[in-house]
Chain A
């Protein structure tokens, strides 16, 4: 009996507590940098798109909402010819970001993606590609890839020796 009255009293006291409600959208909430929101494609420090069209994000995607096609530019550098994310299917799990070997695909703290037409939830590469490096600065996959893909010459990358001289037997 007393406990019931005490409960009522405690509930009443809550009327004088601080409100928990966030004033969204007038007051935007703080989202941590690693918040898993909208997906973007970033560029490396030279301004080239980081995505090398390896398909790992598409493979790991549990809802299969990423589709892309690899292509090679005139130097042999690989890039995605198209890169499409169907956000009406995306569950923002972030697996694609974890799978990405080049830091190209990143989830950012933006969740305001409501659309009246579901077709507008399909994002193509031009919608996804940003002009900066996103969360990870200074990484360029082609410098550490170990092969010549039209970005840096053979043996010019990090941790690589100059190409072997086949005519030389002294080594």
Chain B
């Protein structure tokens, strides 16, 4: 019974946060751009989310006649599924976790690799040259950043000596990993942005050149799933950053542990939006160059140094 309660709690909170982000992102972007943002529907425009949902449900859900129908319908589902599955291993609090797996982190990495399929298949099934270009870019970008996203976490794993996310959090009782693993944190953050293809790494959907990339042909709720999927990805990466580098639910005891976790996650979500408001999109080749020529050596160096330091401290 408790298990069902936890699953329901995770699902509801993730979906609520993702939907709420539609509103929050618009309000925050407006904040950074000296505007007001949506403020017409309900108090402070809070009902904007509902309005948008109603709108997107009533939109014509059109499948192009030239599309591969089965794949076209499946693609957005894959995205939502992989992200939601990942939330199973995230410890919201000490005992608030769906699946306390001893390979939690690997599970996350595996799922995020599967997420690429959603985009590749969506673009391919659309049978539209812009969509296909978008998904080719997406696969290249996500494969690249997948590599050092994993590598950037090796330092954390070495220090916690476990793949279990719960253990990793517990390992931070002495101090957050962001301090010894600062480089790892930065690289994971960058890779996270790329993984969720948010601005400035929204090259797969680059409106200016690819119309809307892999989801050009999507409309109605299928588009809505891509749209919400993106926000869930943002939430996921923020939650992971909080878990892996900022001590997860740990915090002073005057507030419940889950609250600390949400607070840290929310902070990183805001960082995502702030970065979107600030930085322009790099060129595709610049993105790949940064990945392979700067970040990969850096992350390898980080592993080497972390390893060296660990061997040194253990040998003492």
Whether chains A and B associate is yes
Binding site for B on A (CB under 8 A): 4, 7-8, 10-12, 14-15, 17-21
Binding site for A on B (CB under 8 A): 30-36, 274-275, 277-279
- Given contacts A4-B279, A8-B275, A15 and B36 within 8 Å (CB-CB): no
How far is A108 from B31 in the complex, measured between Cα atoms in Å?
34
How far is A29 from B36 in the complex, measured between Cα atoms in Å?
16
How far is A7 from B36 in the complex, measured between Cα atoms in Å?
21
How far is A14 from B33 in the complex, measured between Cα atoms in Å?
6
| Given A10-B278, A12-B274, A14-B32; 18 other pairs, CB 8 A cutoff | A4-B278, A8-B274, A8-B275, A8-B279, A11-B274, A11-B277, A11-B278, A12-B32, A14-B31, A14-B34, A15-B31, A17-B34, A18-B34, A19-B35, A19-B36, A21-B30, A21-B35, A21-B36
Contacts of A17 in B (CB 8 A): 34
How far is A4 from B286 in the complex, measured between Cα atoms in Å?
15
The answer to whether B34 touches A7, judged by C-beta atoms less than 8 angstroms apart, is no
The answer to whether A19 touches B34, judged by C-beta atoms less than 8 angstroms apart, is yes
Decide if the interface of chain B is mainly helix, strand, loop or mixed. helix
Nearest-Cβ distance from residue B291 to partner chain A, whole angstroms: 15
Nearest-Cβ distance from residue A96 to partner chain B, whole angstroms: 36
Contacts of A15 in B (CB 8 A): 31-32
Contacts of A8 in B (CB 8 A): 274-275, 278-279
How far is A17 from B277 in the complex, measured between Cα atoms in Å?
15
The answer to whether B278 touches A7, judged by C-beta atoms less than 8 angstroms apart, is yes
Contacts of B277 in A (CB 8 A): 11
Contacts of B35 in A (CB 8 A): 19-21
How far is A19 from B36 in the complex, measured between Cα atoms in Å?
7
How far is A14 from B35 in the complex, measured between Cα atoms in Å?
10
Nearest-Cβ distance from residue A26 to partner chain B, whole angstroms: 11
Nearest-Cβ distance from residue B26 to partner chain A, whole angstroms: 13
Nearest-Cβ distance from residue A19 to partner chain B, whole angstroms: 6
16 A-B residue pairings within 8 Å (CB atoms) = A4-B279, A8-B274, A8-B275, A8-B278, A11-B274, A11-B277, A12-B278, A14-B31, A14-B32, A15-B31, A17-B34, A18-B34, A19-B36, A21-B34, A21-B35, A21-B36
How far is A17 from B31 in the complex, measured between Cα atoms in Å?
9
Nearest-Cβ distance from residue A12 to partner chain B, whole angstroms: 6
Instruction: Name A23's closest neighbour in chain B (CB-CB).
Output: B36
Nearest-Cβ distance from residue B192 to partner chain A, whole angstroms: 16
Nearest-Cβ distance from residue B306 to partner chain A, whole angstroms: 22
How far is A19 from B32 in the complex, measured between Cα atoms in Å?
10
Nearest-Cβ distance from residue B18 to partner chain A, whole angstroms: 23
Instruction: Name B200's closest neighbour in chain A (CB-CB).
Output: A4
Contacts of B275 in A (CB 8 A): 8
Contacts of A18 in B (CB 8 A): 34
Nearest-Cβ distance from residue A66 to partner chain B, whole angstroms: 37
Instruction: Name A4's closest neighbour in chain B (CB-CB).
Output: B279
How far is A50 from B313 in the complex, measured between Cα atoms in Å?
96
The answer to whether B34 touches A11, judged by C-beta atoms less than 8 angstroms apart, is no
How far is A20 from B35 in the complex, measured between Cα atoms in Å?
6
How far is A15 from B36 in the complex, measured between Cα atoms in Å?
10
Contacts of A21 in B (CB 8 A): 30, 34-36
Instruction: Name A10's closest neighbour in chain B (CB-CB).
Output: B278
Instruction: Name A14's closest neighbour in chain B (CB-CB).
Output: B32
